[in-house]
Amino acid sequence: MPADDKHFSRRDYHSNSSSPLILRKATSSDVAALAEVYLSSFAKSPWSNIVFPYSKASYDWWRFSLAKEIKNPNSHFLCVYDSSIPWQPIVSWAQWDDPNALTKAPLWPAGADAKAANCFFNLSIDTHERHMRGRKHWYMRNVSTRPEYEGKGAAGQLLRWLIDRADADADGCELYLEASPVGRPIYERLGFVEVDRVVLKSEVKREGSLGEKEYMEYIESEDNEKVANSLATKIGDELLLNGEILECSHFDSKAKQELLDVKRLTDFDNFITPDT
């Protein structure tokens, strides 16, 4: 696929010379840090905690899984580190796959709700295949950022880099991802559009700000305008207070101008296009 090592002719990529946050390719030596960033990024996510309880077992699971996946030629990793700190810690990272990447459900860490995890994972695979089968695309599988670095542009660097690579593809390449409520505004500003939504409910009682019953919405629909018109009622205060929303989106790099004409909730005066 086009996103191979030739795009990393420089180890570090400075998208903003005034920013200490620098993008580079992640390597096998980074897997422990990547696992730590993931768990800290989703520590307050009730659904993530059903699958990956904040524990040593989850940390070991992520470290082991990432050590294998980072060697997979069908999976690709970027990270952003803080150059203002002497040890240059990784503060954000992203993983994306081409269509040939592994798609079967893994064995989950000790303490996970395996039934709920398999339900979500298999639903994710089915929804992905239903919308993107036969279409050239990259699947953004994970974007994680340390909480203290949220809103500072680290995730935006990762996404713009990938969009830039998709734009450079001579044949055109779509991007596909799933998003949390926190990440959704970033993706919308970058041109991603919602394509479907499925609700999963967990009856497991857990501590947390979202109460006894935790909800997740998985969003996907081809009819973007229809979905946009109903978002105001589907994403109301009650839902946000009592549930977690996961959105599934895709972005056609050849149709940025068309996106400006789509009637949605996003203010496209703030539409962000990739750096060229």
User: What is the mean predicted confidence (pLDDT) over 2-10?
Assistant: 33
109-142 pLDDT, tens digit per residue, is: 777 777 777 777 777 778 888 888 878 888 888 8
pLDDT at 236: 29
pLDDT at 28: 95
| Residue showing tokens 């505004």 | 185
Which of 14-18, 67-71, 205-209 has the largest mean confidence?
A: 67-71
73/274 Cα distance (integer angstroms): 25
User: What is the mean predicted confidence (pLDDT) over 232-259?
Assistant: 37
Domains along the chain with CATH numbers: 5-101+112-266 (3.40.630.30)
Q: What tokens were used for 132? A: 């993107």
**With the CA atoms of 184, 187, 192 and 198 taken in that order, what torsion angle do they form, in degrees rounded to the nearest 10?**
-30
88/99 Cα distance (integer angstroms): 33
15-42 pLDDT, tens digit per residue, is: 555 789 999 999 999 999 999 999 898 8
pTM: 0.67
Compute the mean pLDDT over every residue in the chain, rounded to the nearest whole number: 68
Which of 2-16, 66-80, 212-226 has the largest mean confidence?
A: 66-80
pLDDT at 233: 29
pLDDT at 104 over 70: no
Position with higher pLDDT, 6 vs 122: 122
Residue 250 CB-density burial (10 A; 0-12 exposed, 13-18 middle, 19+ buried): buried
pLDDT at 237: 28
pLDDT at 167: 84
184/178 Cα distance (integer angstroms): 9
Range in 36-45, 58-67, 179-188 the model is least confident about: 179-188
Buried b (16+ CB within 10 A) or exposed e, 39-52: bbbbeebbbbbbbb
pLDDT at 198 over 80: no
29/15 Cα distance (integer angstroms): 24
